[in-house]
Amino acid sequence: MSVAKGEFVCLIGASGCGKSTLLRIVAGFEQATRGDALMWGVPIAGPAPDRGMVFQDYGLFPWLTVRKNIGFGPMSRGRPAKEVRDTVERFISLVGLQRFADAFPHQLSGGMKQRVAIARVLANDAEIVLMDEPFGRWTP
């Protein structure tokens, strides 16, 4: 399988057929047992900031607020503080969580947690965004 830059691809299949496993291989969390996993012609050796992953189970840091969860990636990549703040506020607004910006994950509904997870990946400006059933628990 080959995916071109800018292409949008959906994996559809029965439960247990390997969709999540394939995403985890591309994300770098698992190694392929056969074949090669490449990004731009380079073998995928592990997780990296150029590939963002939205998990089925949110994957939020429970000790960080919504604002800090979303800002984690840009901050870790060494972005200037003002840029991180602006990015965080833009994505909090995008997912409609302005009133919950200082809440912790345990204070949020499942749909809100998933919106934070999506905003966190998008705020990191990854080249590829991988989503494993990201809207299964979405509650606008």
Task: Give the integer Cα–Cα distance in Å for 122 and 67.
Answer: 13
Task: Give the integer Cα–Cα distance in Å for 139 and 82.
Answer: 30
3-state helix, strand, coil in the chain (%, to 5): 40, 10, 55
Q: Which domains does the chain have, with CATH numbers?
A: 19-131 (3.40.50.300)
Instruction: Indicate the pTM of the whole model.
Output: 0.83
Please check the confidence at residue 54 and state whether its pLDDT lies above 80. yes
The token pair that represents 36 in the structure block: 């090669």
Banded pLDDT at 42 (limits 50, 70, 90)? very high
Banded pLDDT at 55 (limits 50, 70, 90)? confident
Nearest one of 97, 67, 83 to 125, comparing CA atoms: 83
* Average pLDDT of the residues of the chain: 91
Q: pLDDT tens digit string along 57-66?
A: 788 999 999 9
Banded pLDDT at 133 (limits 50, 70, 90)? confident
Strand pairing of 128-131 and 51-54?
Answer: parallel
Average pLDDT over residues 76-105: 96
Most confident of 8-12, 39-43, 87-91: 87-91
Q: What is the DSSP letter of 57?
A: T
Banded pLDDT at 137 (limits 50, 70, 90)? low
